[in-house]
Chains A and B, each alone.
Chain A
Amino acid sequence: MTVSVSAPPPPEVRRGEGNPWLRFGARRLARLLVSLLVLVTASFAMIHLIPGDPVRGALGPTAPAELVAARRQALGLDDPLLTQYARYLQGLLTGDLGTSLSSQLPVSDVVAQRLPATLQLAVLAFLAAVLVAIPLGVAMGVLTRRGHGRRTELAFTTGSIVVATVPDFLIGVGLVSVFGVGLGWLPGAGNDTAAAYVLPVIALAVGPAAILARIVRVEMVRVLEADFVRTARAKRLPARTIHLGHALPNAVTAALTLGGLLLGAMVAGTVLVENVFAWPGLGSTIVQSILTKDYPVVQAIVLVYGLGVLLVNTAVDIAIALLDPRSTIRED
């Protein structure tokens, strides 16, 4: 998982071998497309993997057979599988995600209406986590390098494990009962006011922030041992420049790799947090749709979440490549 600075250096790039950035871009694009295909196929296959007749399951055992047949017809479930798959792909390309079984609205409208709230929550929480975790991790790394501050290290390590273990929805429930119900300082539901954002964002950000801060600390401690940090000290640069300018960029690569996974997890984490705070986003919708067996909506939202995760991963790969150019050349 980590991109080790002390690893043997990659072979030298010979000129005239093609632009490494182009090769990198092509490779990542190919990877994205393959993952995308897997995702789309999985979301298509979902409804077919359900044991028994999903329409019968959705409508219940008492529904008349004609209604079931009509609904199957509407969903195109009686066509050959390949035809259905082709139609599904075609629909995706034209932005047609099908029709909701419960509301009869186009699924694309449902997604478009619910997506912004989820995006806001995820992005704000990610920013909050990063803004807390990186300074905290850097400070802890500097304080606990080479066996300094053993007590600080123990307290921080233990504290961060414990905090990271608490699932976001439990933090959410705790926050609502203390600040929403108990003290009445902040709203515990909805997204109508700016104040309503505070608790959900905290609930979503705390765990990832703890994990990220841990990784940044470990990486900082490791990087501060590196020879090039000694070189920076030999240049008599100010401590701030050594820590932030020389050590941090090398520590942040591994942190970013993990940060990408965390952001991906946060996209999914919104599902639980939205349900705690009655947040009108995709998370509340997908749970309702699963319970009411509104499969087209579930398929579409799974697709949107998956797409979000893939885009985040790709963005992180690009960011790592920009920060640490060796990684663009390393793998083939």
Chain B
Amino acid sequence: MPHRWSRVARSPLGLVATALLVAVAALAALGPVLWGDAAEAVDTGNILAGPSAAHWAGTDNLGRDILARVLVASRLSVVLALLAVAIAVVVGLLLGTAPFLLGRRAGRLVSAAVNTAVAFPGLLLALFFAVVFGVGETGAVLAIGLAGAPAFARLVHTLVSGVAARDFVAAARVAGVGRARILVRHVLPNIAEPLVVNATIGAGSALLSFAGLSFLGLGVQSPSFDWGRLLYDGAAALYLNPAAALAPGAAVLLAGLAFNLVGESVAKGLGIEGLGVAAAGRWVVPGGAAAPATAPDPAPAEVGEPADDVVLGVRDLAVSFPGPSGPVRPVRGVSFDVRRGEAVGIVGESGCGKSLTALAVTRLVDDDARVEATRLHLLGTDLRAAQTTADRRMLGTALAVVFQDPMTSLNPAHRIGAQLAEVATHHQGMTRGRAAARAVDRLDAVRIPDPGERARQYPHEFSGGMRQRAMIGMGLMGTPALIVADEPTTALDVTVQRQVLDLLSDVRASDAVALLLISHDVAVVGEVCDRVLVMYAGRIVEDLPAAELAGARHPYTRALVDAVPDMDTDLDEPLATIPGRPVDPADVPAGCAYAARCPLADARCRGEDPPLRADPHAPGRRVACWHAGEPLPPSRVVRADLVQSP
């Protein structure tokens, strides 16, 4: 634990705060020793004087040096604050662990009481207790300590509940260990760290609160003095000598900040622990004119000029993210066209870049990514250029996007109808009333029952399948030429998946809408789509008609197709899998990325990346493999050295 705390000293803020705290502690220890006499030296000939060379902060109404008094007051101020926070922590621990020790019923009562008390501001509680315990030092320590207790009690309760739910506590309970013993042995050590952090911050708050009470005249009483008392006296003489109030004010502030900042930086230091710091380095903002981050693609795509009926034309699309050791490129040179009314599927394993491709062609990648392409056209509009209002209108009405998780893709704070209608009000110039009517009509079109009533509901009142249909309905507010659906059924129940796929097919059939369907499921894509693009490690490795999937020529496609169980699959055999793991985008090997997992791979595959070329044996198809269509080894024995446990 000590090394984790010492880490705090490495952040600049933590360093300053720690230094400040050490200075405050030194001052509290030494202040009264060094300046005790000066602070009490009365000089009646020089009362309420402003700052001078002899008295840097001036003098008070007895001619005593204010700076010396501020330095001396540090001990009492810090000691009282620490006493108060100690009371808060002890009482907080008692109240916060009570629910654990006392069992459910009594515990509920205690935590209800704590929750009621927490609702009242600390100062109000402090005033209440100040009345009860009387004006003065003792009363103020008790008041501030007890006023801080409910917040600590709640913190302890939350922490204890968190630890108590863990397995080792349950195990100890089963073993018959008593509650008090579990608390002391198992729970408290696990909550010590956050508690100490919060006590440190609490000491800062107690210091400031104490100053507040003394400033009101309810805390430390003359002839004793803490910073708050000096402020009280200084504020009375503010018009004669502002320094008399500003000096103790600055002292309170610095000391309070020291405690707070040390606590905050320790909290931050401990919080970062284990989470892993986000990749540092500069983030690249996407720019149409930006030069490629790395050398041009080894395999320029062999796709001719797009024909007239192309809805979406993509050439050499690459997406890169800044990484700790240079940019990572999860999409590396993807080229394809989607024609009017055509359904194109992109399949591949997780991490092959298919979803990112979908986001990139819809201009929805997060803006720390860098998107490059030699061509990226939707309905003749260059998506690489900055979007004008007209472009936005075109995209908003002609391009529909359906995302994977309908649970999170709709705004929980808006009604479904309003979320659909705003497309029409923003892009089609409809009035609110007409847009709302259109939204109801579209919900009806995607077979939402009782659409008028449903439009007035919020997303949480919809089931998953209905939300996904509402998302599709949202895309149909305009007159889409292309629907991009990224794993639209993955998050849904099997029975609902079918409804959503049928709906997509119907929409497509009725309006000649093109579909770009992203899926990890070859069976789904084979069924819904006309053409299939198989992606591996950020590239398209095969492009073939869906009807010809059984005759795929790339070893990876063949493995994917083989992995789909059908009616003839022997259920006693283990399901077919593809040995090895997908390629890490941050570490793409030289040569064919699939070589390590490929039964046909040879030296050439490991050295030279096969380009995606028109397949000479099958017109209209493209494949990227040196051994396309070659027979696989008779028995697909998995080579043990290639299998990596995930």
B543 is an interface residue with CB less than 8 A from chain A: no
* Pick from B121, B134, B238, B422: contact of A173, CB under 8 Å: B238
B460 interfacial contact with A, CB 8 Å: yes
Of the residues B216, B235, B367, contact of A287 by C-beta under 8 Å: B216
Chain B residues within an 8 Å CB radius of A57: 134
Contacts of A202 in B (CB 8 A): none
Q: Which residue of B lies closest to A231 (CB)?
A: B409
Q: Does A228 sit at the interface, judged by CB under 8 A?
A: yes
Q: Which of A170, A173, A276 has the most CB of B within 10 A?
A: A170
Chain B residues in 8 Å Cβ range of A161: 260-261, 264
> Are B238 and A246 in contact (CB-based, < 8 A)?
no
Stretch in contact with the other chain, from B181-189, B389-397, B567-575: B389-397
List B338-392 residues whose CB lies under 8 Å from chain A: 362, 364, 366-368, 387, 392
Q: Determine whether A22 belongs to the interface, using a CB cutoff of 8 Å to chain B.
A: no
A265-B123 CB under 8 A given contacts A182-B242, A236-B396, A246-B411 = yes
Residue B288 at the A interface, CB < 8 A?
no
Q: Are A231 and B410 CB-contacts (below 8 A) given A173-B235, A265-B123?
A: yes
A142–B133 CA distance with the chains assembled, in angstroms: 49
> Within the complex, what minimum Cβ distance (angstroms) separates B446 from chain A?
16
Does B413 contact A181, Cβ atoms closer than 8 Å? Answer: no
The reply to whether B422 and A235 contact each other, CB–CB distance below 8 Å, is yes
How many B residues are at the interface, by size bracket?
35 or more
Q: Assuming A231-B410, A306-B124, is B463 touching A12 (CB within 8 A)?
A: yes
Are B460 and A12 neighbours in the complex by a CB distance under 8 Å?
yes
A290 located at the interface, meaning its Cβ lies under 8 Å from any Cβ of chain B in the complex: yes
Which one of A72-80, A85-93, A267-275 is at the interface? A267-275
Which positions 167-186 of chain A face chain B at CB distance < 8 Å? 167, 169-170, 173-174, 176-177, 180-182
How far, in angstroms, from A246 to B452 measured CA to CA in the complex? 23
Which residues of chain B are within 8 angstroms of A34 by Cβ–Cβ distance? 116
Let me know if A146 is at the binding interface, CB within 8 A: yes
Segment from B51-59, B87-95, B248-256, B306-314 that makes contact with A: B248-256
Number of A-B contacts (CB under 8 A): 203
B476 proximal to A (CB < 8 A): no
Q: Are B364 and A230 in contact (CB under 8 A)?
A: yes
Given contacts A13-B461, A49-B132, contact A236 B121 (CB under 8 A): no
| Chain B residues whose C-beta falls within 8 Å of the C-beta of A291 in the assembled complex | 135, 217-218
Are B246 and A174 touching (Cβ within 8 A)?
yes
- Whether A271 pairs with B364 at a CB distance below 8 angstroms is no
A115 within 8 A of B: no
What 1/0 mask marks residues of chain B from 226 to 243 whose CB sits below 8 Å from any chain A CB? Answer: 000001001100110010
A238 CA / B427 CA spacing, docked (Å): 10
A106 at the binding interface (Cβ < 8 Å): no
Within 8 Å of chain B (Cβ to Cβ): is A59?
Answer: no
Stretch of A96-104, A190-198, A322-330 contacting B (4+ beta carbons < 8 Å):
A322-330
Q: Do B134 and A228 touch across chains, with their CB atoms under 8 A apart?
A: no
Instruction: Flag whether A10 is at the interface (Cβ < 8 A).
Output: yes
A1-35 vs B, CB cutoff 8 Å, 1 = contact: the mask equals 00001100110110000000000000000000011
Contacts of A267 in B (CB 8 A): 121, 124
Q: Which residue of B lies closest to A329 (CB)?
A: B460
Q: Tell me the nearest residue of chain A to B126, going by C-beta.
A: A268
- Chain B residue with minimal CB distance to A247? B411
Q: A181-B238, A309-B119 are in contact. Are A228 and B412 (CB under 8 A)?
A: yes
Most central of B239, B249, B392 by chain A CB within 10 Å: B249
Q: Which of A214-244 contact B (CB under 8 A)?
A: 226-228, 230-238, 241
Q: Is the CB of A249 within 8 A of B413?
A: yes
Contact B242 A177 (CB under 8 A): yes
A181 B364 Cβ-Cβ under 8 A: no
Q: Does chain A have a CB within 8 A of B472?
A: no
- Is B131 interfacial (CB-CB < 8 Å)? yes
A306-332 contacts to B (CB < 8 Å): 306, 309-310, 313, 323-326, 329
Chain B nearest CB from A87 CB (Å) reads 20
Indicate whether B615 reaches chain A with its CB closer than 8 angstroms: no
Q: Is A302 an interface residue (CB 8 A)?
A: yes
Question: Is B405's beta carbon under 8 Å from chain A?
Answer: yes
Neighbour of A276 across the interface among B134, B235, B256, B474, CB < 8 A: B235
Interchain CA distance A276-B231 in the complex, whole Å: 10
Q: Say whether B145 faces chain A, with CB atoms less than 8 Å apart.
A: no
The answer to whether B460 and A237 touch across the interface, beta carbons within 8 angstroms, is: no
| B127 surroundings in chain A (CB, below 8 A) | 268, 271, 286, 290, 302
Q: Are B426 and A241 in touch, CB under 8 angstroms?
A: yes
The listed residue (A182, A234, A249, A302) touching B128 by CB distance below 8 A is: A302
Q: Which of A35-59 contact B (CB under 8 A)?
A: 35, 38-39, 42, 46, 49-51, 57
- Nearest CB in chain B: distance from A169 CB, A: 6
A274: shortest Cβ distance to chain B, in Å?
Answer: 10
Q: How far is the CA of A268 from the CA of B260 in the complex (A)?
A: 21
Report if A228-B245 is in contact (Cβ < 8 Å); known contacts: A167-B208, A236-B392, A305-B124.
no
Q: Closest chain A residue to B400 by CB distance? A: A234
A203 contacts B by Cβ under 8 Å: no
Q: Is the CB of B260 within 8 A of A46?
A: no
Question: Are B131 and A298 in contact, CB atoms less than 8 angstroms apart?
Answer: yes
Specify which of A181, A264, A287, A290 is in contact with B242 (CB 8 Å cutoff): A181
A177 touches B283 (CB 8 A): no
Identify B218's interface contact among A148, A246, A290, CB under 8 A: A290
B474 touches A235 (CB 8 A): yes
Contacts A230-B403, A290-B127, A290-B218; A50 near B134 (Cβ below 8 A): yes
A and B contact pairs by CB, cutoff 8 A, 22 listed: A9-B407, A50-B131, A50-B132, A147-B278, A147-B283, A161-B260, A161-B261, A167-B208, A173-B231, A177-B245, A181-B239, A228-B408, A228-B410, A250-B412, A264-B120, A269-B121, A269-B123, A271-B123, A287-B216, A291-B217, A305-B124, A309-B121
Given pairs A169-B215, A231-B411, A241-B426, 15 additional interface contacts (CB within 8 A): A12-B461, A50-B131, A165-B261, A173-B235, A227-B408, A234-B403, A246-B414, A264-B121, A271-B216, A272-B216, A287-B216, A290-B135, A302-B128, A306-B120, A324-B413
Closest 6 CB pairs of A and B: A236-B396, A177-B242, A268-B121, A227-B408, A268-B123, A234-B401
A residues lining the B interface (CB < 8 Å)? 5-6, 9-10, 12-13, 34-35, 38-39, 42, 46, 49-51, 57, 146-148, 158, 161-162, 165-167, 169-170, 173-174, 176-177, 180-182, 188, 226-228, 230-238, 241, 245-246, 249-250, 261, 264-265, 267-269, 271-272, 275-276, 286-287, 290-291, 295, 298, 302, 305-306, 309-310, 313, 323-326, 329
